[in-house]
Amino acid sequence: MGSPINNRALFPCQEPPVAMSTWQATVRAAASFVVLMSGEHSAKPTQLQEGCSSWHYYVTMPMPASTFTIAVGSWTEMKPETCSSNDLAAERRSFSPSDADFGCVGVCCHVDYPCRFQNASAAIQEIIPHRVFAPVCLQGACQETLLPLVPLCLSAAHSVLGTHPFSRLDILIVPANFPSLGMASPHIIFLSQSTLIGRSHLCGTRLCHEIAHAWFGLAIGARDWTEEWLSEGFATHLEDVFWAKAQQLAPHEAREQQELRACLRWRRLQDEVRSSPEEMQVLRYLLVPVLVSAGIMYWSIRQRLNLCLATRAPCKGTDLAAESSLGTSIYVQHPYMLCLRTYGIKPNKEKTGFVSDSGSSVIKHGLNPEKVFMQVHYLKGYFLLRFLARRLGDDTYFSFLRKFVHTFHGQLILSQDFLQMLLENIPEEKGLELSVESIFQDWLESSGIPQPLQTERQAGAECGLVRQVGVEVEKWNRVSRRPRKRKRRGTEEVFEKLLPDQLVLLLEHLLEQKTLNPRTLQRLERTYHLPQQDAEVRHRWCELIVKHKYTKAYKNVERFLQEDQAMGIYLYGELMLSEDARQQQLARRCFELTKGQMDMCSAQVVAEMLF
């Protein structure tokens, strides 16, 4: 599976994003296994000999090596029980390359390859061919939750951004030990089995997020790994837009749901800023490369030579000489992760990050195990794009976004590429007081909460869905304070039915209460059927259990730590911080049961918490 630093352990490759290439692979595996990979066609196995099959995949669009993904396992293709109207629509809109009309629909700026944006038939294909794979034991959950959502979400994405960059899609349900709820690569999406539990909300929003990466993160990638917000910020912002369209919500309903999700993300961003180092809250690092010792110089020159050999680019000795003469100081955490502090030098805005002419770049905090659990680049990126969309108006913003996609697909970008084109293409009156420099300063180059966001959240009125949660919180506080003997029927609280995101907000508010008695927690569990809710809701429920030492529900915490490992890591910390012997024993017991299957990075972080 792809990563900025791990794919070279799988096959010889250059990791910097600019070292893009096509690939093809033939994989031999036991006949009982299914092989899925980033590839432009839905590969079928070829029988080689008894008990052994061969699978062949290829891509013609040059991509960074970090986007390459392969998965091998005992999975079954999931198909709907009946053929729905959505399936028929997908079948009508799908096409084979031989049927395609390759009439030019615009001029592309990328290197030459068979581009779907140049294909008139692809431009009107709302739902690309897709398959879903999962273990047989999850067939029922897939048919009930995931399969109906795929065509709806693909169609919604097309209605917002236009041409799907990739010709097909495989979706694989991965096991509990997968370190995140989802991951996108060319032609393939991984979804955690945790997304299938509860109502369709979590599955739908996560699917929309990963589909959005087809445009932002894959077809358009960050030229510098440092600028993750160009991938994750866009996907987070677009997931709300796609999901609202997939649900066919009225405009006012869509606004309400999006405001509710903005409220939740605002709370998470505040938590992240309070609990994380300032240097890890910055979305765009001002770095200048430097060579400080013979060892580092050897490493840098060797990497440059390797890259130039791979890309056939000229190796400029002047680059190395210029870098070594800059007046900078440096501290080194790892030779692949140079973290620089610059004194008295104003970096060139055209060199965000920094990416040199030869293509080498810097990974800030690339090997910090805590980095993968942080959401700052998701959240601050999301709020920046939300700020721009609100300032310009949705029609203007999304019209520009489609133009941007058409201009930059198949290319790598930096922050200023997006911002400069945005400000050049919007009406002058809507761009008042906006500049690339001010956005850099307020949003991308500073730690903490951006000032425009603070101003907006302080002035903004709560939406109806948030106010409804506030009313329900007051009811639960009254229930918790009420004496046990008081059982008058006329004073019984009646609780409203809440959306999943409202339940998350409700539980977060209740987590702020100093005490909740066991009787209240039991009623809370029964009222909302909390153990059957989605993973986001159950996570907050487990936090309440831990905080108030609700021993009757400890089995819910144990189940979560074992079956929802992508999110369970946070609970380990809370169990240990409680300094309760029984809770700490629970944490260590669950870790012993799961550490052999856990993602290595997750296991390392949890082990540091426990021992």
Q: 67 and 28 in contact (C-beta within 8 Å)? A: no
* Helix, coil or strand: residue 546: helix
Q: Are 154 and 126 in contact (CB under 8 A)?
A: yes
Instruction: Evaluate whether 164 touches 125 at the Cβ level (below 8 Å).
Output: yes
The one-letter code for the residue type at 69 is T
Q: Please, which residues have CB within 8 angstroms of residue 608's CB and are 6 or more apart in sequence?
A: none
Helices 500-511 and 200-212, packing angle to 10 deg:
100
Q: Are 364 and 341 in contact (CB under 8 A)?
A: no
Which of 15, 40, 210, 227 does the annotation list as catalytic? 210
For every residue of 212-255, DSSP letters joined together read HTTTBTTTEEESSTT-THHHHHHHHHHHHHHHHHHTT--HHHHH
Residue at 88: amino acid letter: L
**Which residues fall within 8 angstroms of residue 475, CB to CB, at 6 or more apart?**
493, 495
Decide the pairing of beta strands 76-78 and 169-174.
unpaired
Residue with tokens 């009309």: 101
Q: Is 210 a catalytic residue?
A: yes
For 260-342, list the strands marked E by DSSP: 328-334, 337-342
- Evaluated on CA atoms 213, 214, 218, 221, the torsion sign reads negative
The residue type of 41 is H
Beta-carbon neighbour count of residue 381 at 10 Å?
27
- Residues identified as active-site: 210
